[in-house]
């Protein structure tokens, strides 16, 4: 499945280069702003403590980093990682008033950090766009400290028939919005397809266990439109 979508991933990467300045706008338009509550749920579930370190992978423009620093009153550190340099440029501008935040251009499959460096790992709406799920998960496990916790926020499989029917109809509008905002609908057709073809909640749970995470669990948000997975390095 990952290889099947890889050619289109290159197209999505090119589009992110074109629309990095509209990234937050597109998130708000496509989710009606609900993505903010999903990200707040991640931080709520994390319950971050002070004097800890978070690595936020596929960080985009830094939404998770901002929430994390606010939750810890700026007394913890966050390392933002994204393969798109323009996203990081926007993120730096957006969070220029925040301390204890660092930025790095890198992929989830090859994190340029030491073993056992972070207390928390988060990846939001980025896992399905990676090349190798097992490699991403093994890298997450590697950079976490013993006792560290992994969090993944991602589109998943809806568990309500009526909601699913509505969502499938709404999904057809996403490329239309993308064409209006970006001028190109093909990458957003890919995004819809990638959501449909991504692993479901239980399959991701099994992949986490396969990659050594313990006490793995997930919660469905908004009927399974999004799922929040977590696991521990013990």
pLDDT tens readout for residues 14-36: 656 655 655 656 666 666 678 89
Maximum separation of any 2 CA atoms in the chain, in Å: 47
**pLDDT above 50 (res 145):** yes
pLDDT at residue number 68: 98
Q: What is the mean predicted confidence (pLDDT) over 82-104? A: 94
Q: State pTM to two decimals.
A: 0.89
Domain count of the chain? Answer: 1
Question: E-assigned strands of the chain?
Answer: 53-57, 77-82, 101-105, 118-124, 144-155, 214-221, 226-232
Sheet holding 101-105, edge to edge: 101-105, 77-82, 53-57, 118-124, 144-155, 226-232, 214-221
Least confident range of 106-115, 162-171, 222-231: 162-171
Average pLDDT over the chain, rounded to an integer: 88
pLDDT band at 3 (very low <50, low <70, confident <90, very high): very low
Of residues 199 and 14, which shows the higher confidence score? 199
Q: What is the pLDDT of residues 52-78, one digit of tens each?
A: 999 999 999 999 999 999 999 999 999
Separation between Cα atoms, residue 229 and residue 207, nearest integer Å: 11
Mention every residue, 6+ apart, whose C-beta is less than 8 A from residue 23: 16, 60, 61, 87, 90
- CATH code of 13's domain: 3.40.50.150
pLDDT at residue number 4: 47
Q: What is the mean predicted confidence (pLDDT) over 121-130? A: 93
What are the Cα distances from residue 99, in Å, to 20, 50, 59, 77, 103? 23, 14, 17, 8, 12
**pLDDT above 60 (res 5):** no
Separation between Cα atoms, residue 150 and residue 96, nearest integer Å: 26
| Domain encompassing residue 217 | 2-232
Q: What is the mean predicted confidence (pLDDT) over 173-199? A: 81
Of residues 106 and 9, which shows the higher confidence score? 106
pLDDT at residue number 184: 75
Q: What is the pLDDT of residues 38-57, one digit of tens each?
A: 999 999 999 999 999 999 99
Tokens of 94: 């957006």
H helices of 95-227, where? 133-143, 161-171, 174-182, 186-197, 201-210
């Amino acid at each position: 499945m990952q290889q099947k979508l890889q050619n289109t991933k290159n197209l999505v990467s090119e589009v992110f280069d074109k629309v990095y300045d509209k990234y937050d706008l597109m998130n708000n338009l496509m989710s009606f702003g609900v993505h903010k509550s999903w990200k707040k749920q991640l931080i709520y579930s994390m319950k971050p403590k002070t004097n800890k370190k978070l690595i936020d992978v596929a960080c985009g423009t830094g939404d998770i980093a901002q929430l994390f620093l606010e939750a810890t009153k700026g007394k913890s550190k966050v390392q933002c990682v994204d393969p798109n340099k323009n996203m990081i440029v926007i993120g730096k501008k957006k969070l220029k008033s925040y301390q204890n935040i660092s930025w790095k251009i890198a992929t989830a499959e090859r994190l340029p950090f030491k073993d056992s460096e972070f207390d928390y790992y988060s990846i939001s709406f980025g896992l399905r766009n990676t090349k190798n799920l097992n490699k991403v998960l093994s890298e997450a496990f590697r950079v976490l400290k013993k006792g560290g916790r992994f969090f993944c926020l991602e589109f998943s499989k809806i568990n309500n028939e009526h909601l699913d029917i509505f969502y499938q109809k709404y999904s057809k509008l996403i490329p239309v919005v993308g064409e209006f905002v970006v001028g190109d609908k093909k990458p957003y057709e890919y995004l819809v397809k990638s959501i449909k073809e991504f692993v479901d909640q239980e399959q991701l749970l099994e992949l986490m266990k396969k990659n050594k995470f313990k006490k793995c669990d997930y919660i469905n948000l908004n009927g399974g439109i999004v799922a929040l997975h977590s696991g521990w390095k013990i």
